[in-house]
Structure 1
Amino acid sequence: MYRKVVFFITMLLLPLAGRAQFNTDRLVTIGRSALYYEDYVLSIQYFNQAIMAKPYLYEPWFYRAVAKFYLDDFVGAEQDCTQAIDRNPYVVNTYELRGIARIRQEKFSDAIDDYTKALKYDPENRSMWHNRVLCRIQNKEYERALAELDTMAVHWSKYAPAYSMKAEVYMLQKDTAKAIAALDKSLEIDPYDGSTWTMRSIISLARKEWKDAEGYLDKAIHLLPKQAGNYINRALARVNQNNLRGAMADYDTALDIDPNNFLGHYNRGLLRSQVGDDNRAITDFDFVLKLEPDNLMALFNRALLLDRTGDLRGAIRDYSKVIDQYPNFWTGLQYRAACYRRLGMTKQAEADEFRVYKAQLYKSLYGIQPRLNKEQLRKRSDEDMDKYNQLVVADEQEMEHKYESDYRGRVQDRQVEVAFLPMFGLSFDRYHSDVTLYIPFDRQVDAFNQQAGKARRVYVNCNQAALDEPHSKALFSYIDSLSSGIGGTGGRIGAQSALLLRAVAYSATQNFEDAIGDLSEFIQNDTASSLGYWQRAVCQTKVNEFNASLGTDMAMKYANVIADLERAIKLNPQCAYLYYNRGNVYAARKDYARAIEDYTKAISLDQKLAEAYYNRGLAELFSQRTDAGIADLSKAGELGLYNAYSIIKRYAKGDKK
């Protein structure tokens, strides 16, 4: 990820260019800070300004490409990487990022070119070897992939994925024996890779070694408990061992994880039909037909179930749709004829029966009459209607490729992280919650708003939303208006208000350094207000987190944050958010005892402060006080932080990882 990217800045030392270079560096630094805090749209605005000022520098192009990649704009990321390479063709990370962006567009040959160029400069970069091999597999360049995997095995003999990728190539070449040997070698090196156990199970499933397949899938599910496909495959193995109860449980779990899984609903519907749970089987086939309205296999199975449960007209409707597509499907004609007879529609029943009789009499004219296949499985693409009662498997058991990259977006589909909630600070946005009406309130903030008069109001908030382009432009414009007025503002009170407001605006645009500058000036002019110390501590924490991600020791800076918060607490001792923020600083330093003490004080001042319960709960969990931690998280969930329940479930099951 951008946090780990190594880059080189060429300093221009010409006196006349020094100021412009400094400003460009500041824009890039602020943009990188916005990237760190996942404010991608805002970061792009800063990189745009840097590109306009110095279009010949490669860094703004590269970092803008990173931001676009996070936003799933892979075309834009590729184009910006190309611009960065034109300006500096010797930076390996740019080729790597462009390669990943091209992979996301399935431009595998172009990605191979990028990795090949980058490996000239960094031949020991294992991740790029890994990704290039996967691209060759996608391009069906199997022999070249095997040759490169042999090279990787020489350089990194203990790198398990090289052997699992080799196994995948052998499987694609239908050489099962070599695939098993490669997988065994991979598992010998790393027995904790769930995807390798999955691959091993696929071979056993293909060989109909059901018991072995189930054992391998048990290990895969233990390591990858949230992968629906493993449960679907284990259900298949269990059905073929007559363990219907276990198979049903696996289908239920798979559909809890992936509610729209076609194979899960279809096969569970067949299994429910087999055990006589007809009404719930109909529900499964209803869902399948919502996903695929033209799926005739599902339609015929639903017709059989409607027939059995007495909905004869519904059954005839479904039978007729199937027969329209397959006029010689004699089984369907026989079932429809039976429905017609039960409804007293003798003429229609006799017409269907005559068609079946004529086919049996003159089957030589229609070809050999199909008979039910004794096999229990069919491929999903197999449309032989006489296989309507067989479990479905995917046409190809494709491996889920894991491309190695530090540029993984974290915006889409994130699991709940066991991480402390952020500090409360001053913001132009109101605190928002989907499930609670809690409104953070502080007397000094309210006094400031009254004193500022018609100026923009500030609020106490801990969940600042990422800015879109219109809002970021509006904030930049607001900062400009405040800057032009600060020097000539009449009266000390007006100047102070403008300074604090501009600091809040800088904070919203991730420009924490300038915000700290304004807050320091605000504090010099007014030592009796807690707001300056409060917001400066929040901004300094943001700067510290970003710098710490680059490997800088921030111990002294954290001491400054504590000092600011202690001054703010002395000036405003009834403010729960200040104790909460200080608790966050202690928690970040793993001083959980002090953190818990501060969170407890915050709760005593505001018993509705859900974030304090949540963070105290985490601090208690990290201190091995599981019962107390779960109790606090339960209270946080009660107050509206429903993500707490995910953590409670995890720890209640004993997952302390």
Structure 2
Amino acid sequence: EVQLKKYDDAEKSFDKLIKTHPSYYNGYLSRSQFWLEKKDTLKAIEDIDKAISLDKHLSYAYAQRAIIKFQYTKDYQDALADMNEALRLDPNMSSYYINRALIKYHLDDLRGTMADYDRVVEIDPNNLMAHYNRGLLRAQVGEKNKAIEDFSFVLKYEPDNYFAYYNRAVLYDELGNYRAAVKDYNKVLDQYPDFYSGYYARSEAKRKSGDISGGKSDYQKAMKLYEQQKNTNKNYEEVADNIDESENDTSEKDADKVRKESDKNINKFDRLLVADNTDMKSKYTNEIRGRVQDKNFNVEIAPAFVLTYYEKPDQVKQTISFIPEVENLNRAGILPYRVLLTNAEMALDSAKINKHFVSVNDYSKLIEINPNNAVPYFGRALDFMLIQDFASSLDDLNRMIQLSDNFVLAYFMRAVVRFKQIEYRASTQDFDTQNGKSVTEAFSLPKNSASSILLPNSSSNKKESVGMDYEMVLRDYDKVIEMSPQFVYAYYNRANVRCAQRDFRAALADYNEAIRLRPDFSDAYFNRGLVYVFLGETQKGIADLSKAGELGIVSAYNVIKRLGD
């Protein structure tokens, strides 16, 4: 009805929805979008206020309210407070940092703005808007070489971004690299042949580089275009912009600070770039649609630990993964890179994948030379695992164990790869690992229930074969623990497998042992807390989740708040 512009009908439907379900926060959030369609920002904010009163943990509600306050009421301080709260609840949402940066910029907090763009780049390294805007800020504060790096990064992915070319040209000019500046100015003026400011800038760069004739020609061109545009009012937007700068109208002055993506007026080259849908209507509405069908708050248990060469950085988490067997392997130097034990695996880009394909070929040559040497099988198994060829990885691990049955990491790795294979099949072949979900999706926490956790319905199809797969994983972890009783991550991983089998009492025993061996094991506390909650021992669960939060698992606090509600 809203999309069809049947606003009267839509209002009646919203009224009926909210009257029937007065505690349904998404009803208020959806209606807030409707009020924005009708340009009634006061009612939009009232509905978001109501939604937050029903559930104070809705990060996107705070973010949307912040945008309304920023864009419509110009209440920047309140907008900043709301965006801060949104980020407290969801600290890894890059779009929130981008919007907060915009708010800070309008509060003249340049350093704070740049810090937010730094955070966006950290979370999402290929975010071109963050790089572009950070380049503008770096130029403003005198970090010219760093600004050039940002604009160059943008141009690597957007070779037709003439705003980035022009800004980089200006910086090259200021740093005395006149030839590079002229080269960038050329690209801009080929696209914008009436841009008199560009001709003037290029005339200066040419003159400084020794091209006096070229500089004079560009200067004359700039003056001619300026007079033409002045007389015909062709460049009305720039004239209006200059007039606005001398006025005291806050909204007009604020508008001068940004340029929307669709705005290709090159005269706005020095303005921060913002998305065309700054109010996030489209993105926000889609998010609501998803949540309408997902009323429960899904909680994923912390994943198993694996051997790998790569790990996602985590500045919050305090626990450092260490086991003597891995340290001894690294000291031996038999593998080309340092092996890590982590449950924060980093996805491989194409360059890394290609590197490991090459490594597989290198190990294959070593195996051809000496097929009884166990080490190349282990190295190649690790490469195969990283490129997701689990069957080949298992073949190599089986062969290594035949050749050297006392290497504990081979059993650990085989358990890891077998479990990955189970999860991979579950995600690609549309069958249940045990009862419809993978181990990391075992728990679903109802928003208004502290004493129960919903589980997917069990499925008997292929249950027997999957059960055997799990049994083989457990046997390998049993062997690891038999060979190395202090191998804490074997207990933890075995507990995760038992969660997948819904053998929660056995999982508790393994988490208990992992925590006994490592009292600062944050992931074990987090997972044990979820198991306790599922078993109805909520207070024990909250205590474990609190401990996990103290040790750096920030999401644990969100779970506790849900339980408290």
TM-score interval w.r.t. the shorter chain? Answer: 0.5 to 0.7
1:393 to 265, 274, 277: 274
2:243 equivalent to 1:343: no
1:151 to 10, 16, 41: 16
Report the secondary structure of 1:463's partner residue. helix
Matches within 5 A, 1:129-168: 136-137=1-2, 142-168=7-33
C-alpha RMSD over aligned residues: 5.0
What TM-score, normalized by structure 1, do the two folds share?
0.50
* Structure 2 partner of 1:589: 504
Deviation of residue 303 (structure 1)? 1.0
Deviation of residue 618 (structure 1)? 3.8
Q: 1:154 to 1:300 in 2, by over 3 A?
A: same
Q: Which amino acid aligns with 1:390?
A: R
Contact 2:63 2:96 in 1 (8 A): yes
2:56 equivalent to 1:191: yes
Matches within 5 A, 1:297-446: 297-361=163-227, 363=229, 366-367=232-233, 370-371=238-239, 373=242, 374=245, 375-397=256-278, 398-399=280-281, 400=283, 401-402=286-287, 403-404=289-290, 417-419=301-303, 433-434=385-386
* Structure 2 partner of 1:181: 46
2:142 equivalent to 1:276: yes
Matches within 5 A, 1:421-500: 433-434=385-386, 461-464=418-421
Deviation of residue 247 (structure 1)? 0.9
Matches within 5 A, 1:597-612: none
Report the secondary structure of 2:270's partner residue. coil
The structure whose Rg is larger is 1
2:156 to 279, 285, 290: 290
1:263 to 111, 122, 129: 129
**More deviation, 268-277/278-287:** 278-287
* Structure 1 partner of 2:375: none
Q: 1:183 to 1:388 in 2, by over 3 A?
A: same
Q: Which amino acid aligns with 1:246?
A: G
2:81 to 211, 215, 224: 215
Contact 1:248 1:271 in 2 (8 A): yes
Q: Which amino acid aligns with 2:277?
A: E
What TM-score, normalized by structure 2, do the two folds share?
0.57
Unaligned runs of 5+ in 1: 1-135, 409-413, 423-429, 448-458, 473-507, 514-540, 604-612, 625-646
Q: 1:589 to 1:329 in 2, by over 3 A?
A: same
**Residue identity (%):** 28
Deviation of residue 418 (structure 1)? 0.9
Q: Which amino acid aligns with 2:457?
A: L
Q: Distance in 2 between matches of 1:315 and 1:415?
A: 53
Residues 590-647 of structure 1: CA deviation (Å, up to 9, x unaligned): 466632577699x9xxxxxxxxx999874355568xxxxxxxxxxxxxxxxxxxxxx9
Contact 1:163 1:185 in 2 (8 A): yes
Report the secondary structure of 1:383's partner residue. coil
Q: 1:139 to 1:651 in 2, by over 3 A?
A: farther
Deviation of residue 292 (structure 1)? 2.4
Report the secondary structure of 1:382's partner residue. coil
Q: 1:649 to 1:284 in 2, by over 3 A?
A: farther
Contact 2:26 2:292 in 1 (8 A): no
Q: Distance in 1 between matches of 2:260 and 2:11?
A: 29
Report the secondary structure of 1:389's partner residue. coil
Q: Which amino acid aligns with 1:314?
A: A
* Structure 2 partner of 1:93: none
Q: Distance in 2 between matches of 1:228 and 1:575?
A: 45
Q: Distance in 1 between matches of 2:180 and 2:475?
A: 72
Report the secondary structure of 1:378's partner residue. strand
Contact 2:196 2:222 in 1 (8 A): yes
2:524 to 619, 624, 630: 619
Deviation of residue 233 (structure 1)? 1.2
Report the secondary structure of 2:259's partner residue. strand
1:656 to 556, 560, 563: 556
